[in-house]
C-alpha cells in the first residue's frame, strides 16, 4: 500500500527501497504521546473556530486516546509505508472513524506537527535532565560537611599547586552543573514556543486560533514567522549543545576520579557496585562507569556536530533532511540521562581515602604561594618574593623536607624578612587558614558557600 501522503497527483507507486530509506517510525514512534496530545489540542481548536463539529471532535479525541493506549501497550502495528509516527496515527484514526478522521489534518502540515511534537518532547526531557542535575548537585553537597576536615591538593597542569578543602572541590562541580541548569532554563524558553498553525510553510487561509493551541499545549507563546518556523531547528541544536556541555563536565569529572582511584593517587574508592572486574587479573576493580561516562560523552558531542552539519546548507523552509535530527537528539538525551543516573550515586557513595591523602599532603610544596604572599605582606615586591620563595623551595627540595621543616636561617638567606612567625602559615593546614578572599578555599568562605547552596537546593 502507498503512503497516504501521496495524493492523486502520483501515477506510480513507491519503490520499496524508498520505503525503508525514508521511514522514521522506527525512531520517531517515541513521539506518539506528544503527537496525540498535539492532535487533540488542534482538533479542539478546529471545533472552537467552527471547522469541525463538537461530535467530530469527540470522535477524534476518543479514538486518538484509544490509539495512544495501543501505542503504550505495544499493540499498535507498525507499517513502513506509513513513514512516520504522524501518518501512523492519522491513518489509524481514518481507518476507525472514516471521514471525520480525514478532517484532523485541516490547517496543519506534518512540518508544524513534527516541530510541535519535538518541542513538547524536548521540554519534558530538559526538565528531566534538570531534575537529575539538581540531584547530582545534592550528591556533591551531601559530602561537604563530612569532608570539611580533608585537605586535597589543587592541581594546575596536573602538578600540585595549592591546598584546598575537599568541599571546595565538591562546590566547584555544583557551580558547573548550575551553569548547565541555567543554560537549560534559557534554552527551554526558546524551545517552548508553539509552531502549530504555521502549517507547511506560509500559514493557512483557514480561520485558525494559534493562541488556543499554544495555551492548551502549555507553550509560552506562538512563533511569529511561518517560513522561519518551518525551517527552524535551532531549539534542537541548542539542546544538543546544552547536553554537550553537561557531557564535557561529566567527562572531566570522570577522568579526574579515574585518576583519583588509581594506586598512584589513591584519593578515592568508587562504590564497587559501579565497578567491574577483569576476566584474567583477579585483583582488578575497574572504574568502568566513569570510563564509559568519559567515552559516551564523545557520542553526545558527536551528535551536536551531526546536527550542525545537517542544517548548515538548508534553504528555507522545511527539507526532509530535518527528519535526520531525531536519532542524534534522542541519543544525546538518553546518554546524558543514563550518565547522570549513575553519577548521582557514585558521587554520594565514593569514599575519600583520608589517611592516604593526609600522608602525602605535605609533598609538592602546596604552601609555597602562601609563603610568597606572607613576604608580600611584609612589603616585598611580588616578583622579588616569587624569586626568593623559588630559591627557598629549591633548598627544601635539595634537603628533601617540606618548607615548615627548613631551618629559618636557610630561608633568611633568601628572604631576610623571614622570622619565626612564618611557621603560622606553613604547612597545608596553616596555608588553608591563611586564605581570605571571596570565592577562595578559606574555611569561612567554603562554609558560607555550603550554607548558600544548602538554602538554594532546598527551595
Ligand atoms: N517525518 C518527518 C520529519 O521528521 C515529518 C515531516 C514530513 N514532512 C514532509 N513534508 N514530508 O521531518
Tell me the best of 29, 115, 320 to mutate to test the pocket of ligand 1, counting ligand atoms within 8 Å of each CB and taking the most.
320
Ligand 1: nearest atom to the Cα of 320: 12
Are 149 and 287 contained in the same domain?
yes
Give the residue-averaged pLDDT of 305-332.
Answer: 98
How many domains are contained in the chain? Answer: 3
Rounded Cα distance, 121 and 126, in Å: 9
Give yes or no: 86 in active site. Answer: no
Sorting pLDDT into bands at 50, 70 and 90, what band is 209?
very high
Pick from 239, 237, 233, 241: which is nearest to 319 by CA? 233
Q: Give the pLDDT score at 1.
A: 63
Q: Percent of the chain, pLDDT > 70?
A: 100
Are 409 and 332 contained in the same domain?
no
10-58: pLDDT as tens digits:
999 989 899 999 999 999 999 999 999 999 999 999 999 999 999 999 9
Tell me the best of 82, 114, 117, 233 to mutate to test the pocket of ligand 1, counting ligand atoms within 8 Å of each CB and taking the most.
114
Residue 91 near residue 39, CB atoms below 8 Å? no
Give the residue-averaged pLDDT of 428-453.
Answer: 98
Residue 232 in domain: yes
Does 111 sit in the ligand 1 pocket, CB within 6 Å?
Answer: yes
Are 355 and 395 contained in the same domain?
no
End-of-domain residue from the set 91, 106, 121: 106
Are 124 and 78 contained in the same domain?
no
Give the residue-averaged pLDDT of 321-341.
Answer: 98
The SS3 call for residue 76 is: coil
Residue 43 in domain: yes
Give the residue-averaged pLDDT of 406-429.
Answer: 97
C-alpha 430 to ligand 1 mean position (Å): 65
Residue 306 near residue 240, CB atoms below 8 Å? no
Full residue range of the structural domain in which residue 54 is found: 16-106
Rounded Cα distance, 294 and 339, in Å: 9
> Quick check: ipTM above 0.85?
yes
Are 218 and 352 contained in the same domain?
yes
Does 323 sit in the ligand 1 pocket, CB within 6 Å?
Answer: yes
Sorting pLDDT into bands at 50, 70 and 90, what band is 3?
confident
Can you give the length of the chain in residues? 459
Residue 11 in domain: no
Pick from 244, 222, 249, 251: which is nearest to 329 by CA? 244
Q: What is the mean pLDDT of the chain?
A: 97
Are 235 and 266 contained in the same domain?
yes
Are 90 and 211 contained in the same domain?
no
Give yes or no: 13 in active site. Answer: no
Catalytic choice (20, 26, 69, 278): 278
Residue 10 in domain: no
Question: Is the per-residue pLDDT at 153 higher than 90?
Answer: yes
Please give the full DSSP string across 207-222, using - where no structure is assigned: ---HHHHHHHTT-SEE
Q: Give the pLDDT score at 5.
A: 86
Residue 2 in domain: no
Are 355 and 369 contained in the same domain?
no
Ligand 1: nearest atom to the Cα of 326: 4
Does 229 sit in the ligand 1 pocket, CB within 6 Å?
Answer: no
CA 355 to chain centre: 34
Are 254 and 279 contained in the same domain?
yes
Residue 197 near residue 210, CB atoms below 8 Å? yes
Does 117 sit in the ligand 1 pocket, CB within 6 Å?
Answer: no
Rounded Cα distance, 440 and 434, in Å: 10
Residue 404 in domain: yes
Give the residue-averaged pLDDT of 197-212.
Answer: 98
Ligand 1: nearest atom to the Cα of 318: 10
Catalytic choice (157, 421, 437, 459): 157
Does 317 sit in the ligand 1 pocket, CB within 6 Å?
Answer: no
Are 27 and 89 contained in the same domain?
yes
Residue 169 in domain: yes
368-402: pLDDT as tens digits:
999 999 999 999 999 999 999 999 999 999 999 99
Cβ burial 357-376 (10 Å sphere, 16+ → b, else e): beeebbebbbbbbbbbbbbe
Question: Is the per-residue pLDDT at 2 higher than 90?
Answer: no
Q: CATH number, domain at 26?
A: 1.10.275.10
pTM for this model (two decimals): 0.97
Does 441 sit in the ligand 1 pocket, CB within 6 Å?
Answer: no
Question: Is the per-residue pLDDT at 450 higher than 80?
Answer: yes
Please give the full DSSP string across 343-360, using - where no structure is assigned: HHHHHHH-EE-HHHHHHH
Are 92 and 138 contained in the same domain?
no
Give the residue-averaged pLDDT of 87-91.
Answer: 98
Q: CATH number, domain at 436?
A: 1.10.40.30
Q: CATH number, domain at 135?
A: 1.20.200.10
Amino acid at each position: 500500500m502507498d503512503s497516504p501522503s501521496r495524493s492523486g497527483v502520483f501515477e506510480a507507486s513507491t519503490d520499496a527501497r524508498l520505503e525503508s530509506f525514508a521511514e522514521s517510525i522506527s525512531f520517531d514512534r517515541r513521539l506518539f504521546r506528544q503527537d496525540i496530545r498535539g492532535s487533540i489540542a488542534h482538533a479542539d481548536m478546529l471545533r472552537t473556530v467552527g471547522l469541525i463539529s463538537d461530535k467530530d471532535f469527540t470522535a477524534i479525541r476518543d479514538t486518538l486516546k484509544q490509539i495512544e493506549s495501543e501505542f503504550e501497550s505495544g499493540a499498535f502495528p507498525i507499517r513502513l509505508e506509513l513513514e512516520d509516527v504522524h501518518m501512523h496515527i492519522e491513518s489509524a484514526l481514518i481507518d476507525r472513524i472514516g471521514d471525520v478522521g480525514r478532517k484532523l489534518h485541516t490547517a496543519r502540515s506534518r512540518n508544524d506537527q513534527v516541530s510541535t511534537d519535538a518541542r513538547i518532547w524536548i521540554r519534558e526531557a530538559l526538565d528531566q535532565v534538570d531534575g537529575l542535575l539538581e540531584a547530582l548537585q545534592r550528591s556533591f553537597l551531601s559530602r561537604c560537611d563530612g569532608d570539611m576536615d580533608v585537605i586535597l591538593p589543587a592541581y594546575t597542569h596536573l602538578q600540585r599547586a595549592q591546598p584546598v578543602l575537599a568541599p571546595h572541590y565538591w562546590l566547584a562541580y555544583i557551580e558547573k552543573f548550575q551553569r548547565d541548569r541555567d543554560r537549560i532554563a534559557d534554552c527551554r524558553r526558546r524551545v517552548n514556543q508553539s509552531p502549530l498553525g504555521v502549517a507547511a510553510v506560509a500559514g493557512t487561509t483557514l480561520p485558525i486560533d494559534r493562541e488556543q493551541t499554544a495555551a492548551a499545549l502549555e507553550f509560552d507563546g506562538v512563533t511569529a514567522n511561518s517560513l522561519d518556523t518551518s525551517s527552524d531547528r535551532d531549539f534542537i541544536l541548542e539542546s544538543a549543545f546544552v547536553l554537550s556541555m553537561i557531557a564535557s563536565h561529566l567527562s572531566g569529572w570522570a577522568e579526574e576520579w579515574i585518576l583519583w582511584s588509581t594506586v598512584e593517587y589513591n584519593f578515592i574508592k568508587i562504590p564497587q557496585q559501579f565497578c567491574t572486574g577483569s576476566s584474567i587479573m583477579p585483583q582488578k576493580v575497574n572504574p568502568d562507569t566513569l570510563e564509559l561516562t568519559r567515552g559516551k560523552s564523545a557520542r553526545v558531542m558527536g551528535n551536536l556536530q551531526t546536527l550542525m552539519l545537517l542544517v548548515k546548507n538548508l534553504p528555507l523552509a522545511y527539507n526532509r533532511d530535518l527528519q535526520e535530527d531525531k536519532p542524534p537528539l534522542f541519543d544525546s538525551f538518553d546518554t546524558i540521562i543514563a550518565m547522570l543516573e549513575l553519577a548521582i550515586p557514585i558521587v554520594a557513595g565514593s569514599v575519600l581515602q583520608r589517611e592516604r591523602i593526609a600522608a602525602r599532603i605535605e609533598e609538592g610544596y602546596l604552601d609555597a604561594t602562601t609563603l610568597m604572599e606572607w613576604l608580600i605582606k611584609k612589603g616585598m615586591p611580588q616578583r622579588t618574593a616569587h624569586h626568593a620563595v623559588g630559591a627557598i623551595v629549591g633548598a627544601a627540595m635539595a634537603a628533601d623536607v617540606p618548607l615548615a621543616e627548613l631551618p629559618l636561617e636557610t630561608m633568611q638567606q633568601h628572604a631576610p624578612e623571614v622570622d619565626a612567625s612564618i611557621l603560622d602559615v606553613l604547612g597545608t593546614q596553616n596555608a588553608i587558614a591563611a586564605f581570605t578572599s571571596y570565592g577562595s578555599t578559606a574555611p569561612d568562605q567554603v562554609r558560607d558557600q555550603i550554607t548558600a547552596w544548602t538554602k538554594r537546593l532546598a527551595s
